[in-house]
């Protein structure tokens, strides 16, 4: 099926106003990566102009090869920068952020998948800014409960792990080491381990799924206690990535939002340009009543 040109609701006005240059310069200065750039996020200019960014730790080479993702794939060879948590904390303090999103490349080359490094980064941020809210968007750690526990029991505010797509498409979209049920187990374990923590997941649409399958995925996520859901349009990064099947109309996203609330999610952010970390501060406020 041929997908027509990008619709008007996906057209983005680029801007370098506000805090764009400050965020870019600070992150460059501290030698940090952002998923905003690595994953070619369409909201990069908007978020950076508002002084927010999602910081990607543990390097910029992922050991997984998901077909939807633009992040580089390879073998980092067990290399970890032990000073990265300190640099992240320094950047957060310099930018005076109130909400920080940490994400990571999958690191199957490490014994704990990088969990201790994530936890240490969270702790370092909280040391310099105790009032800052920290969200960590992490991989599945191959389902290792000790690794997941390290992250969940750090001073984290939101534990995020993305199911990415519906069950039927998972084998075609995600790396073979990932699975739909594994993602559900990771989210359930996080909530069971620390019930007060907010859990969050994300679905991409426009990959060939049906509305019934999306709603089924929502139900599955609620069944394991997920509090926050984001639903966004898949945009094919390059011709070699998983093919885009359709541009989903904004009315469908609005319908998903209402269905999500009816299923009991504390917050649902659903729209064509929504990404799992997009306006995460606002989503957190919605889920906590503005706290």
Question: What tens digit of pLDDT does each residue of 106-133 get?
Answer: 999 999 999 999 999 999 999 999 999 9
Nearest to 149 by CA among 159, 162, 135, 163: 159
3-state SS class at 51: coil
User: Per residue in 160-196, pLDDT tens?
Assistant: 999 999 999 999 999 999 999 999 999 999 999 999 9
Q: What is the pLDDT of residue 259?
A: 98
Would you state the pLDDT for residue 39? Answer: 47
Q: What does the CA dihedral 289, 267, 200, 166 come to, rounded to 10 degrees?
A: 180
Residue 80 confidence (pLDDT)? 96
C-alpha dist (Å) from residue 228 to 101, 121, 160, 185: 14, 23, 9, 16
167: buried, middle or exposed (CB in 10 Å: 19+, 13-18, 0-12)? middle
Cα separation, 130 vs 92, in Å, equals 11
**Which residues in the chain land under pLDDT 50?**
14, 16, 38-39
Give the single-character DSSP code of 111.
Answer: T
Residues 6 or more apart from 250 whose CB is under 8 A from it? 9, 271, 272
What is the percent of the chain with per-residue pLDDT over 90, rounded to a whole number?
68
Count of helix runs (H) and strand runs (E) in the chain: 11, 10
- Tell me how far apart the alpha carbons of residues 174 and 234 are, in angstroms, rounded to a whole number: 13
The C-alpha atoms of residue 255 and residue 162 are separated, in whole angstroms, by 21
CA distance 14 to 2: 27
CA 218 – CA 205 distance, rounded (Å): 12
Domains and CATH numbers, the chain: 15-287 (3.20.20.70)
Q: Which 3 state secondary structure label does DSSP give 159? A: strand
Q: Are 199 and 190 in contact (CB under 8 A)?
A: yes
Point out which residues pair with 202 in neighbouring strands. Answer: 230
Under 8 Å between Cβ of 35 and 278: no
- Give me the pLDDT at residue 95, please: 83
């Amino acid at each position: 099926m041929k997908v027509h040109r990008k619709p008007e609701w996906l057209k983005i006005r680029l801007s370098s106003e506000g805090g764009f240059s400050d965020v870019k310069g600070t992150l460059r200065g501290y030698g940090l990566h952002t998923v905003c750039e690595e994953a070619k996020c369409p909201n990069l200019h908007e978020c950076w102009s508002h002084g927010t960014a999602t910081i990607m730790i543990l390097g910029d080479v992922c050991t997984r090869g998901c077909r939807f993702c633009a992040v580089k794939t390879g073998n980092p060879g067990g290399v970890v920068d032990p000073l990265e948590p300190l640099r992240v904390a320094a950047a957060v303090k310099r930018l005076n952020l109130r909400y920080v999103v940490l994400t990571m490349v999958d690191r199957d080359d490490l014994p704990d998948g990088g969990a201790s490094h994530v936890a240490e980064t969270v702790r370092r941020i909280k040391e310099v800014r105790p009032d800052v809210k920290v969200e960590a968007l992490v991989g599945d750690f191959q389902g290792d409960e000790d690794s997941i526990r390290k992250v969940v029991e750090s001073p984290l505010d939101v534990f995020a792990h993305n199911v990415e797509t519906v069950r039927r498409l998972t084998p075609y979209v995600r790396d073979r080491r990932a699975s739909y049920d594994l993602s559900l187990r990771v989210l359930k374990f996080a909530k069971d381990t620390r019930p007060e923590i907010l859990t969050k997941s994300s679905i991409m649409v426009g990959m060939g799924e049906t509305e019934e399958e999306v709603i089924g995925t929502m139900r599955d996520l609620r069944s394991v206690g997920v509090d926050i859901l984001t639903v966004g349009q898949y945009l094919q990064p390059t011709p070699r990535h998983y093919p885009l099947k359709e541009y989903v109309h904004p009315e469908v996203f609005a319908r998903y939002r209402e269905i999500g609330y009816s299923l009991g999610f504390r917050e649902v952010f659903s729209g064509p340009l929504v990404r799992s970390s997009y306006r995460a501060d606002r989503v957190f406020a919605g889920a906590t009543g503005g706290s």
